[in-house]
Structure 1
Amino acid sequence: MTNFCQTPPAPQTDYANYLIKDPYIFDFIQAKGKADERNIEQQFTDHITKFLLELGTP
């Protein structure tokens, strides 16, 4: 909860609220219609694994 709607003027309030949002964008998940939770979890895990492997070893 913030006091952004009370403190700055309206245009700045909208921008401040936009900056503190933490959106979750899962464009890589190929879910259509009702998605099975297990399938989404597996796709998410596969994507993270692929990403970490692309980073390589230290």
Structure 2
Amino acid sequence: MSTVIENLLLRKQKLVEQLQTEQSLEERDKIEHQLEQINTALDFLDRPGPQGGR
């Protein structure tokens, strides 16, 4: 699973770099949306798994 997290972090870094140079408001919105999705995925992957099973 660490490969998935590494890929997400790499993609996030590239998007942040694009966000710093992008001029179009529409493109900035798209990039920000993708960053939100990546952050959500990272939060989900960072949660501890179920313990003991119910």
TM-score (norm 1): 0.41
Give the greater-gyration-radius structure (CA): 1
Structure with the higher fraction of residues in helix conformation: 2
Structure having greater relative contact order (Cα 8 Å, sep ≥ 6): 2
